Structure 1
Amino acid sequence: MSVLSMWRVKAAQVAPGLLISATVAAAASFLGTHYGAPVMLFALLIGMAFNFLYDDGPCRAGVDLASKFILRLGVGLLGVRIALDDLARIGVDGAMVLAGLVAATIASGFVIAPLLGRQWRFALITGGAVAICGASAALAIAAVIPPNDKTERNTLFTVMAVTALSTVAMVVYPVLFQALGFSEGQQGFLIGATIHDVAQVVGAGFSVSNAAGETATVVKLFRVAMLPVVLIVIALTLRLGPHGGAQGRIALLPWFMVLFLALVVLGSVVDLPLSAIDPVNTLSRTCLIVAIAALGIKTSLKALSTVGGGHLAVVVIETLVLLGLATLVIGMVDFV
């Protein structure tokens, strides 16, 4: 069989699953735009309604491809959003505070999760999602840790939880921070430092003022920029740590992390026009929505319902830990 024939056979195998994942993603995007609701959440819920296609049909190969390769591609392309010049506006004090908040939030997961009977994988996925950038971080961390039979279910639950909490925070946090007497600059910093997903950060920040919105966006981009750092730390820890046979399967720098870093460097040394950035940013978001749809298709609602209240409690407590720590240390940040 020729190489071309092999590719045709492979394409025929993955086409049904890719098509259903893309269709669910398109429907979710339409509904999210039409109703102003989180697209990721729609993609998850609609995807789960089509779980029967994954269990009984020709869609398995394509759905698996979407939930793995396309997911990693979307995470890698996130790097186009970030330029080092923008991050430099935060300053040394702001950078140290944000790095400390990320580390403390992830660490809190390893304290909270065992108390509620949850394992280290769930602590890491939820802690990273809350600390860094919501759904994108949950997906990226799940892609580099050694999986078990609960990894996909826990990742899906985390995406749903942080998306829902981000939507609530987008409404509640600006009111809360104003009631606490913080300045517009401080409110922008706190919004960018505590809300999980980028879209909700932008919405909440600009609801305060243009200046607060710009500050919130830059702070949030710094948290996103922490993602490859955290992934490298995770990869190194797993290689050197006690998790046995998984060590040899963890790459030091997975290809999507290399892509992420390369785009950050490119955007920092070359003044890329918006006409170049916007299509890549759109492609990244599209890949992530398709991947989320595929993960939804792979997960049955019955299986997701077995996670229990402890899962939600872990995410909520981590969110409150991040909020509490950020409000305590806001006075240490000079630029706001």
Structure 2
Amino acid sequence: MPTYIVLPIIALLAIALAKVEQVSAFGLSALPLAIVFGMFYGHFSLRVEDERDQLFSTFCKQKLLRFGIILFGFGLSFQQILAVGWQAVVIDLVMISTIFTVGTVVGIKVLKLHRDVAILTAAGSAICGAAAILATESVLKPKQQHITIAIATVVLFGTLAMFIYPFIYQWVDMTDQSFGIYIGSTAHEVAQAVAAGQSINGETMQTAVVVKLIRVMMLAPFILMLSAALNRIDADSETKREKSVIAIPWFVFGFMATAMINSIVILPELLKTVLSFASQFSLAMAMAALGAQTQWATIKEAGPKPLMLALLLFIILIIGGFFLSSWLA
């Protein structure tokens, strides 16, 4: 079966399964499911890709990916920041900067991981899981295997964290809103923030989702700063290119524009539903294409070090995020 038929089927299946209550209870969104299904297809399919298949896969991983992230902005608004107060913004900023800094430094300097694996894992843990990893990919231009490894580790510990939040809630003295801020500022995926908050109560879930979405909004300035920083590093390195070119991820401006439009214009609910589905479908197609071209053996060859890095960041999120939320929220 041609790739241009298989990948849409995988994307639709992942989106449908993510809406099943038993699946969503585990905090599994359409994106991680799509990459897993894509990997199964790529591993067991006997079809040899022709030029048309390869072109379509490239289109999904590049054009559709950026289009999906731009549309993702329609699910955010600046009014959401005002709803939870300045403390949530400060906590998000501290967690993002801490997790990304520790992740890149430890990953590269201590664990001796490939730079791209360390940066992708740190970005996914710090901001919004698979979506952040895909957005960061546009700046790094890493190998497919590096992206898959980062997504696999982030999804693993993000899912584990989701089951830990209700247990922590039973033993701490925090208000429902404060605990929602804690979940939102430390959960890896939006779906995981929803599932964890829902397991406690409605107020906690609402606060957790808003704080998580604020972290998602910070993806745009993060990508721009990362692009500028990497360009400077490349320009100063010994392997200096003939002429340093600033890699500007233009889709980030589209992401910011759609979030701004959603903040100042009241869009019809039907239109927002259509835009949300289009965003999810585009990103799921990109993940399916990525998974289909990734081999299991490559992930196995990566060894335990990526897991060790993701585990360290998971511990900092859970413990550091708790104390920071208890202090500020």
What is the one-letter code of the residue matched to 2:328? Answer: V
Q: Distance in 2 between matches of 1:67 and 1:268?
A: 29
Q: Which residue is equivalent to 1:20?
A: 6
Distance 1:326 1:282 in 2: 32
Change (3 A) 1:293 1:265: same
What root-mean-square deviation, in Å, do the aligned CA atoms of Structure 1 and Structure 2 show? 2.2
- In structure 2, the partner of 1:41 is 32
Aligned equivalent of 2:57, options 36, 45, 63: 63
Match of 2:84 in 1: 90
Give the structure 1 partner of residue 118 of structure 2: 123
- The alpha-carbon deviation at position 54 of structure 1 amounts to 9.6
Question: Match of 2:159?
Answer: 167
Return closer, same or farther for 1:212/1:313 CA change in 2, 3 Å cut-off. same
State the 1:93 CA deviation. 2.8
In the alignment, which residue of structure 2 is the partner of 1:100? Answer: 94
Match of 1:209 among 201, 205, 210: 201
**Structure 2 residue 75 is matched with structure 1 residue 81:** yes
Query: Which deviates more, 22-31 or 307-316?
Result: 22-31
Change (3 A) 1:87 1:24: same
Given candidates 275, 290, 293, the residue that maps to 2:288 is 293
Change (3 A) 1:290 1:116: same
Q: Could you give the per-residue CA deviations for residues 40-96 of structure 1, whole angstroms, max 9, x where no partner exists?
A: 333222212332669822221111111121111111211111111111223223212
Counterparts in 2 of 1:214 and 1:31: CA distance versus 1, 3 Å: closer
In 2, the alpha carbon distance for the partners of 1:246 and 1:54 equals: 43
Summarize the Cα distance change of 1:209–1:33 in structure 2 as closer, same or farther, 3 Å threshold.
closer
Q: Does 1:132 align with 2:118?
A: no
Task: Find the residue that maps to 1:302 and give its secondary structure.
Answer: helix
Which residues of structure 2 form unaligned runs of 5+? Answer: none
2-structure distance, mates of 1:122, 1:303: 13
Q: Deviations over 1:118-138 (max 9, x none)?
A: 132222111111111001001
1:6 aligns with none
Identify the residue that residue 261 of structure 1 maps to in structure 2.
256
Q: d(CA) in 2 for partners of 1:303 and 1:333?
A: 43
2:244 and 2:2 mapped to 1: Cα distance?
Answer: 33
8 Å CA contact 1:201–1:216 kept in 2: the answer is: yes
3-state secondary structure, aligned to 1:196: coil
Q: Does structure 1 conserve the Cα–Cα contact (< 8 Å) formed by 2:121 and 2:153?
A: no
Q: Which runs of 5+ in 1 are unaligned?
A: 1-14
Q: C-alpha separation between the residues in 2 aligned to 1:212 and 1:235? A: 35
DSSP-derived class of the 1:241 partner: helix
Give the one of 241, 253, 258 matched to 1:245. 241
Q: Corresponding residue for 1:10?
A: none
Deviations 1:255-292 (A, max 9, x none): 32121011011011112232221211111111111111
**Aligned mates of 2:251, 2:46 — CA distance in 1:** 26
SS in 1 for 2:213: helix
CA distance in 2, matches of 1:115, 1:316: 14
Deviates more, 1:311-320 or 1:161-170: 161-170
Q: Is the 8 A contact 1:144 1:250 kept in 2?
A: no
Instruction: Say how many residue pairs are matched.
Output: 316
CA distance in 2, matches of 1:189, 1:33: 24
The two structures have a TM-score, normalised by structure 2, of: 0.89
CA contact (8 A) 2:153 2:306 kept: no
Q: Is the 8 Å Cα contact of residues 70 and 288 (structure 1) preserved in structure 2? A: yes
Q: Is the aligned partner of 1:110 residue 2:104?
A: yes
Q: In the aligned structure 2, how far is the partner of 1:29 from the partner of 1:205? A: 21
1:324 lines up with 2:315 in the alignment = no
Query: Which shifted more, 229-238 or 168-177?
Result: 168-177
Corresponding residue to 2:221 among 209, 226, 229:
229
Shift of 1:31: 4.1
1:16, 1:47 → 2: CA distance? 13
